[in-house]
Structures are given as structure tokens and as C-alpha cells.
Structure 1
Amino acid sequence: MEEDKPWALVSEVEGEQGHLEELVDIVQQHFQIVCCKELFKNPALYGPKIQALLMWKYYPAAEPSLLRLLPSLKVVCSGGVGIDHLDVPFINSLGVKVANTPGVVSDSTADLAMGLLLASARKILEGYQNALDSLTPVKPQKLMGIEVTGSTLGIIGMGEIGYKIAQRSKGFDMKILYYNRTKRSAEDEQAVGASYCQSLHDLLRLSDFVVIAVNLKPDTVGLIGYRELSLMKPTAILVNISRGQVVDQDALVEALQSGTIHAAALDVTHPEPLPRDHPLLGLPNVLITPHIGINTYNTARRIVEKMVENALAAVKDLPVPNEVTLPNCQA
């Protein structure tokens, strides 16, 4: 019976901040849903009913002003892996659990990392723009790219996403270096032909391509700055699919303008989107996409299914499969 289903809050259906309509059907199999607009119109009616907050692309934001309208809330379920947008200790202090969706986002994010790497190396966007411009003669020499096959790839952050990037890179016969807090097992390294670098600086000096795939934590904010960029090859390309704050963007602009590095391909910036007058947007050797690493229909479906699984467990007072615990978020 519909009236027996627990209630869940979503930002909206469709719209810029909303769930795709076909994915809302997955939620509605198990929950009665309320959109933020409805909640704010009548918080006394809907607020006490809501037991799960389903966050898609950071919305609805789990801010104190919203959470205090939801006295029966049991869980905040965030789509994706990163939790830097969540104040986990505060949410937990309200007696509310936090869950994310690890595992299901790794393939699509790794795919995009390789797409950005290839597009930047082979000047695909510039070639497309040249092909569209009938008034500009084709100048192949202007579209000379960097060879990907046989080059050296440095992966910063060898978690699940980083490892899947390594798997894909093996198909290009790339030499794979990685820097991580912990060394992967010998079996993992052998499977993709990866070599561990104890020093980030060694990885930067040796790599033709550097892909950043770390989580955003206090010790990774500004991980790549002036010093790190100066160590890279002048022919190197930096690819960031983690978080914008991991790279010092002022330092990146200077490195790109001066030729310290060849190019950058970014799926993440800080803020998102960048101000329209930000210098990164005007540089010819920068490729930027609007944080679309998880934007495939298959991945979106798996994310929503995982969110529903976590939410159902919470409202039934069962162990939440992907609960983010305080020790983990502090690690």
C-alpha cells in the first residue's frame, strides 16, 4: 500500500538539480517522495514524515536549516563517493546516519579520465572546432598532438577509480606509475603493470600524463601547487577527476601560461562552475568539463539503486551497507 511506504526527500524531479524521471520510479517503488518545494510550502505537514534524504549532485544540501525541519530523519544518502560536501559529525550528532555509493561510480569516472586524457593529448576539441570553421584552412601542423601509446602515466591516488584508470591505460601500452598512501599488493601491481612511487615528486618528474584521483581531505587540499607543477615535464598533461581544491588553480594558470606544463584537462574546478572571467576559461591549452564523471545512464541507475538500498536499511533500523562512519571520514 502506498500509504505504508516511508517518506524520502529529493531536490526535484528533472530540472537542473533533480533526479531523472525514470530513476525516480526506482525510488517510488519503495518510498513516497517529497520535493523540496513541497516541503518548504508546508514543513509542518511533510517535515515529520521524512525519514530519508536522497542527495543527487549535492542537492538537496544537508544544511542545518533543512535538517532541523526533519525530526524523523534517519539517513542522508549521497550519490557518489566523495563526502567533502557533508558535515558528517554534525549530521551524526542529530542521530542521523550518512551513506554514500562507493563502487558504482568507478567505471564511468575512469572512462572519463581516459577520455579527457585522449582529447587533450590529441587536440580533439581543437580539431572539431577547426572542422566547423569553413573560413579557416585546415592546418594539420597546428593539431599535432602527444603520443599516448607507450607513454608514461602517473596516477595520484590508487584507490578503486585510480586502479580502473590503470586497467584502461594498460590497453595503450602505457608505463604506469602510481603514488598512494598505501602500496597496492604485488598481485594488483602485476595485473596492470604498475610501479609504486614512494615520492610524489618522482612521479611528477617521470610522467608524460598525470591523473589525479584522490579524495578531497585536509591533506590533499592544494596537493598540486607551484612546486609540484614545476617538477612536471614541459610536454606533460595534467588530468584532474577528483576535486578542484586538490589543485592550486592560480599555480595551474601560471604553469599553463608559461609553458611549465603542456596542457590540463579538468572535470572538476573550484568553484563549479568557474566565474565566466576566470583565466582558466580563456586558455587554449585547457579542456574543462562540468563534473560529469558519473554522468551515464547505467551509473546513475546504479547510484539510485544503492541510495535506495542504504535508505531502506536505515528506516528499518538495519545495518546500512555503505554507512560513512566518523573514523572513516577523519582518516
Structure 2
Amino acid sequence: MPTDILVMVESSEARLGSLRSLGEVHYAPGATERAAVIAAHGPKIRALVTNGSIGVQAAEIELLPALGIIIAVGAGFENIDLAAARARGIAVAHGPGTNDAAVADHAFALLLGVARDLLHSDRQVREGLWDASRRMRPGVAGKRLGILGLGRIGLGVARRGEGFGMEIGYHNRHRRDDVPYRYHASLRDLAEASDFLVAVAPGGPETRHIVDAEVLRALGPKGFLVNVGRGSVVDNAALAAALHGGTIAGAGLDVLDGEPNVPAELLSAPNLLFTPHVAGRSPDAVAAGLRLLMSNLAAFFEGRPLVTPVP
């Protein structure tokens, strides 16, 4: 049977080229393109490639009668309608573990960058303001590191924190018995016990805006927030108010609720360092993700168990 593959996520030519070795690829990274492809080719599509942020909804799945497998690039799958997929017997896979190191590295880059105010200092030096840029900024070594979401990436952040001699705590849905770090039963308590709070939590209704005004007040005027998980975890309005009002010392964001649209109150906020959702984009991570994507597709088309099925 011919294989038509719908790719709903932004993809490199290397990924598209590999997928073309399996069949006809319909590349539709935008909503308008996606609707057009589904209208024109929906009955033929057997495989769908997406990610946790874009997902795929029940209404779209209904228009794909031949669909047999959905694969999320990356670990997240929060916006894939699993109930609709399973009702149809559609296999669902994801890509855990492929970009853990890159995201953990990036979390620390943001943490160090905003704490030491590297971007502002660089700009001042370039403007000839050498002396003005020589301000006191807090260090990281020996400080308290709180991690929201102690999964694979969270553990990577914790291990990097150990290298800085940091005291590490975490908040999860459940306590982990396999780590030496201090567990906090509430996010507010974790924030209160942290100098740096790093959010690595997955998206979805359970975590939406859990970093709110109360949590930011608990983090306090000397505390820093870093988010490399999902943008929806942080309340944009509460964060903007906290930065403008000095409730917290600063923040580093790789993800943003409503991205790529950035609210004006965040663009104008002091002590805020942005990157455009690139934490997991390293050559090693991209190559590992492509290998896993192709392995899951090969397993499906050959009738073998998926390599990394969604639990």
C-alpha cells in the first residue's frame, strides 16, 4: 500500500528527505496549509508527524480514514487527542530522550545569562559604556536550585546544578525515591526554598499557569525563573507584573504561552532574557530525533512494536 505522510511540524530538509524514502510527504507546518492538505489528500494519509505543542485534534483525525500512526517529535504529546486516536486503533509514538542534554544545557545558559545579565553587559560594552556595564550581579555557585518537573531533562538540570555546588529541590506530581534531592509537596514551597526556579514541566490542563503570582511572590525579589518546559506553565501576565514590580529578580524564557506572539508587557519587562524555543535544537538532538522517528515508522510499517509508544 502506498504511504502518504503528513508532516505538521516545522522540519529540516534532512527530515523531509528521510521521510520521502518511505513515501509521499505532504509538508504542512501551518494551520492553513494543514487544512488544505487534509482536504486534498486526507483519505490517503497513513502517517502523521507532529509535536506536543501542535498536536492533532479529533476533528482532524476524523478526516484521515487511513491514518495508522501519529508520531510526536520530542517527548511532549499533550495536544494529541489520545482518546480519539485510540478509539480508532491508531498507534501513537513520541520522542523521549533525544534532546534532554541540549535542553538541560540551555536551561543553564539562560540561568547564567539572566543572573549575570550577560546580554545587557554585552550591549553596553558595544556602545562604549565599559564602566557602566561593570555592575554587581549574583552568582550561581552554592545557591538553591528548584526544579519543577524532575523527569529526564529535570534530572539533567539537577546534575548540572550539582556541578555548581547547588542545593537542589524539586516538585513533581509524585515524590521520587531514586534521587537524593529534597522533595517539596507544593510548588509554592519549592519556590520559597529556591534562588533559581527552573520549570521543565510538560504542558496540558494540569500544569497550565501553575507558575502564577503566588509562586512568583514566594520566589521573591532575589529569585530568578527559567522556563524550558512548556510556555503554558507560566502565567504571562503574572510574570510581567512580577518583573516590572521587582517581585522577582529576573527570568529566562525559551518557551512562551501563545508563542510566537510576545505580549508587549513582557517585551518591555526588565531583566528578561528570551530565546525562541530553541533549547532542544542542537545537531546531536536533531539527529537523534530523526533516528527515533524513522525507527518508529519502520516498526509500524513492518508490523513490529513501536520503539517509543506513548504510555
Deviation at 1:116, TM superposition (A): 0.5
Determine whether 1:52 maps to 2:47: yes
Structure 1 residues 58, 270: CA separation in 2 closer, same or farther (over 3 Å shift)? closer
Determine whether 1:209 maps to 2:196: yes
1:329 corresponds in structure 2 to none
Q: TM-score, normalized by length of structure 1?
A: 0.84
Any gaps of 5 or more consecutive residues in structure 2?
none
Distance 2:201 2:38 in 1: 41
Deviation at 1:209, TM superposition (A): 0.5
Match of 1:318 among 294, 299, 304: 304
CA contact (8 A) 2:124 2:133 kept: no
Higher deviation after alignment, 172-181 or 86-95: 86-95
Structure 1 residues 30, 42: CA separation in 2 closer, same or farther (over 3 Å shift)? closer
Alignment of 1:75-86 (within 5 A): 75-86=69-80
- Runs of 4 or more above 6 Å deviation: none
Structure 1 residues 290, 269: CA separation in 2 closer, same or farther (over 3 Å shift)? same
1:229 corresponds in structure 2 to 216
2:241 corresponds in structure 1 to 254
SS at match of 1:304: helix
Distance 2:39 2:199 in 1: 42
Higher deviation after alignment, 80-89 or 25-34: 25-34
1:242 corresponds in structure 2 to 229
Any gaps of 5 or more consecutive residues in structure 1?
12-16, 326-331
Aligned length: 307
Determine whether 1:280 maps to 2:298: no
Higher deviation after alignment, 27-36 or 170-179: 27-36
Deviation at 1:233, TM superposition (A): 2.7
Distance 1:293 1:158 in 2: 17
Structure 1 residues 196, 284: CA separation in 2 closer, same or farther (over 3 Å shift)? same
Structure 1 residues 256, 311: CA separation in 2 closer, same or farther (over 3 Å shift)? same
Identity of paired residues, percent? 32
Distance 2:255 2:51 in 1: 17
2:110 corresponds in structure 1 to 116
Deviation at 1:80, TM superposition (A): 1.0
Structure 2 counterpart of 1:204, one-letter code:
A
SS at match of 1:222: coil
* Root mean square deviation of aligned Cα: 2.5
Deviation at 1:268, TM superposition (A): 1.1
What per-residue deviation string (whole Å, max 9, x for no partner) do you get for residues 262-309 of structure 1? 00111111100124x520111121111111121112111211221222
